[in-house]
Amino acid sequence: MSLNAFLFRLGAMAVLFLLASVFGAITISWWAAVLSGIGIGLAFTFVSERILRGLLMGKIGNGPIAWYSVHLLGESAWLALLAWGASALGLAFVPAWPAYLFGFLVWAVLCQEMLRKLPGMIIMYLAIRGGKS
């Protein structure tokens, strides 16, 4: 991710959360939840690209099982943390299901490769390890 994309993403998150709080304060509408969901998606993809992919890749090695496991657990924990933060910031007072649905869809899209490949890799690893005993 380039510096311009990084700064744009930070600015977009700030604007979206500001709009969500303004809309939520004026009218308790579903727009606040949708904008918060988009902000959650932006924050989630930012952490996924910047931290999990960039910083952890060199630390955990190149093994696919280790990489997929750490990435899937890290992204799942980050989504749970964002959902908790959204509820702590008052997203529960607006119809929050669009925000949580959007956040879950972003998680499913980003983790689709891991969700498809990791179970097969674990089964193959266990079968190989079981055959060596």
Residue 9 has pLDDT above 70, yes or no: no
Residue 127 has pLDDT above 80, yes or no: yes
pLDDT mean over 34-60? 66
Tell me, what DSSP letter sits at residue 90? Answer: T
Pick the residue with more confidence: 57 or 27?
A: 57
Instruction: Kindly state the tokens that stand for 78.
Output: 């980050």
**Closest by CA position to 80, among listed 59, 61, 107:** 107
Q: Between the CA of residue 116 and those of 106, 108, 119, 132, what are the distances in Å?
A: 16, 11, 7, 26
The pTM score is 0.48
Pick the residue with more confidence: 115 or 15?
A: 115
pLDDT digits (tens, 9 = 90+) for 82-97: 777 766 666 555 556 6
Q: Structural domain boundaries of the chain? A: 3-132
pLDDT digits (tens, 9 = 90+) for 19-33: 666 665 555 555 666
Number of helical H runs and strand E runs in the chain: 6, 0
Pick the residue with more confidence: 78 or 90?
A: 78
pLDDT mean over 62-72? 72
Q: Answer whether 95's CB lies under 8 Å from 30's CB.
A: yes
Distance CA 9, CA 95 (A): 25
| Amino acid at residue number 83 | A
Q: Answer whether 106's CB lies under 8 Å from 45's CB.
A: yes
Q: Which of 73-82, 104-113, 118-127 has the highest mean pLDDT?
A: 118-127
